[in-house]
Structure formats: C-alpha cells, structure tokens
Amino acid sequence: MKFRLLLPLTLLAASAGAFAADAPKKPAPAAPKAAPAKPAESGRDWARIDTNKDGLVSPEEMEKFLADNPGPLKK
C-alpha cells in the first residue's frame, strides 16, 4: 500500500523539478545608477589664496589666508 502512494509522489516531485528548469527566468534587476561625483572641496577658492597668480600656493600665501580667515572654532 505504501508503494502505491510513494510512487505517484516521487513522479510528481521529479516532474515538478523538470518543469521548473524549463520555466522562463526573470531578468536580473538593473544596477542602481551612480550619483554624480561631487567636487573634492567646494569651500575653498584657491585662486583667491594664490595672491601672486603663479598657479601655486606658497606657505606664506597660505599662512596669510589662514590668518585673515580663521574659520569656525573646533569643539
């Protein structure tokens, strides 16, 4: 009696796996779009620090800028 019940269940399980293998696959979800890159530092105007306009910020130019613009106090 057990064999009569076990055989149909085995065939049903085997055929379900075969049908599942033939089923169409869902497409993979699209990758999220990357956010546009932000500027590395948007708060400092290097052209304003470079007072002699040679394209380089010398230590003296930076010291003068920092003395004139101390910025917020750190806690």
Q: What is the pLDDT along the chain (75 residues), one digit of tens a residue?
A: 555 667 676 766 766 666 666 667 777 777 777 666 665 556 678 899 999 999 999 999 999 998 998 877 766
Residue 58 lies in a domain: yes
Q: How far is CA 7 from CA 3, 10, 17, 19, in A?
A: 6, 5, 16, 18
Residue 56 lies in a domain: yes
Kindly report the pTM of this predicted structure.
0.39
Residue 23 lies in a domain: no
pLDDT of 2 reads 56
SS3 content of the chain, % helix, strand, coil (to 5): 45, 0, 55
Number of structural domains (the chain) is: 1
pLDDT of 52 reads 93
Q: Tokens standing for 3?
A: 């064999």
Whether 61 contacts 52, CB under 8 Å: yes
Residue 29 lies in a domain: no
